[in-house]
Amino acid sequence: MSYSLMAERPERGRGSALLSNPMMDVLHAVHEQGSISAAARQLGLSYRHVWGQLKEWEQQLGRELLVWERGQSALLSPFGQRLLMAERLAQARLGPQMESLRAELERAFALAFDDAQRPREVLTLYASHDHALAELQELAASSQTANEPGVHLDIRFTGSVDAIRALNEGRCLLAGFHTQPFADADSRSARTYRPLLKPGTHKIIGFARRSQGLMVAPGNPLRLRDLRDVSLQRARFVNRAIGTGTRLLLEELLSQDGLSSADLNGFDREESSHAAVAQAVASGDADVGLGTEYTARIQGLGFVPLTDERYLLVCLKSALEQAPVQNLLRLLHSTRWQQRLQSMAGYLPDHPGEVAAMKRLLPWWR
């Protein structure tokens, strides 16, 4: 089974995937459209071609992919459903790495074509995975003009804590992390981030505010309102890995509600990204997970908001005057960027491009 890496980042939507496979694309289209003819139109293929491919794949696999009778909607067989959901979960887990690979290939091709123009500055950013950063990366890539070299954002997705460590070890110019803006000075977030950040050495850059909450099945069938409900109903929870900002946020919210990790059924089950958590819920393999509103909406899930948080960028003070950082600050200040951010569900501009002391944007700092 062969896959192709998409040349461009796919449009927002439940079927979007950076890796494309013909069989999985057809299965997803049939699942979404409810008929072979509608799936063929969505994919720009003929009915005869799609029908023939489905029969060929069924013969190769020795399993039925569709349950279909003339005059009725086409449905994926139980095997077809399991196959599609398992593949989509694998894609969601690999999403951050695939985005990084695609960005690296883009950079390589851009350098090859930059012989007749000023080359773009490269800014390496280690950051907690965030969809707004992918949007910013795309906007930055399209912002080069004859008088402005632009900036290539080389994003390496990792956990929030690991991102700041990478900055302190000199592996990047910029790091991205997220935290509750109103957590107190003794909160878990404050205790985790404070040893990594030094006044006078680091500078915080405003970026965005985003909504985090419970990602649940459409319609919220379990009527979950908060983490207490998740605990009381023993809902199957899926967590994020240690070192991620969302794992830190969960532990903080549990503490605020007087709960512990033992109160969640599935606290030890981990996924690598918001998208992977959402896919686990969408496939019915879990009932609930903590994630961003944007991720829940593009996956077609229900969303129960729990808190707003700041997504911030941080750099060393000595890097502020470097050309790539200055170019990025101009882009963050721009109306184009702020309008683009506001078009994303659950996001709002929050001092974008403003350079501030830590106590300005981290009120818990003491």
In the chain, which ranges are E strands?
4-5, 19-20, 66-67, 75-76, 121-127, 151-157, 174-179, 202-216, 237-240, 270-271, 288-292, 302-316, 347-349, 355-356
pLDDT digits (tens, 9 = 90+) for 122-151: 899 999 889 899 899 888 877 665 455 567
**pLDDT value of position 157:** 87
Q: pLDDT band at residue 160, thresholds of 50, 70 and 90?
A: very high
The token pair at 297 is 């909406």
pLDDT digits (tens, 9 = 90+) for 324-363: 999 999 999 999 999 999 999 999 999 999 998 888 888 7
Average pLDDT value over all residues in the chain: 85
Instruction: Write down the pTM of the prediction.
Output: 0.74
pLDDT digits (tens, 9 = 90+) for 71-122: 667 788 888 888 887 787 777 777 666 666 666 666 666 656 555 455 567 8
Task: Quote the CA–CA distance of 332 and 133 in Å, as a whole number.
Answer: 11
- Among the listed residues 207, 168, 173, the one whose alpha carbon sits nearest the alpha carbon of residue 325: 173
Query: Does residue 224 register a pLDDT over 50?
Result: yes
The dotted CATH code for 117-361 is 3.40.190.290
Spatial contact of 190 and 204, defined as CB atoms under 8 Å apart: no
**pLDDT value of position 116:** 47
CATH fold group of domain 18-84: Arc Repressor Mutant, subunit A (1.10.10)
The token pair at 352 is 């974008």
Sorted by where each begins, the domain ranges of the chain are 18-84, 117-361
**pLDDT value of position 10:** 53
Task: Quote the CA–CA distance of 306 and 214 in Å, as a whole number.
Answer: 7
Spatial contact of 358 and 181, defined as CB atoms under 8 Å apart: no
Q: At what angle do helices 22-33 and 36-43 cross, to 10 degrees?
A: 120
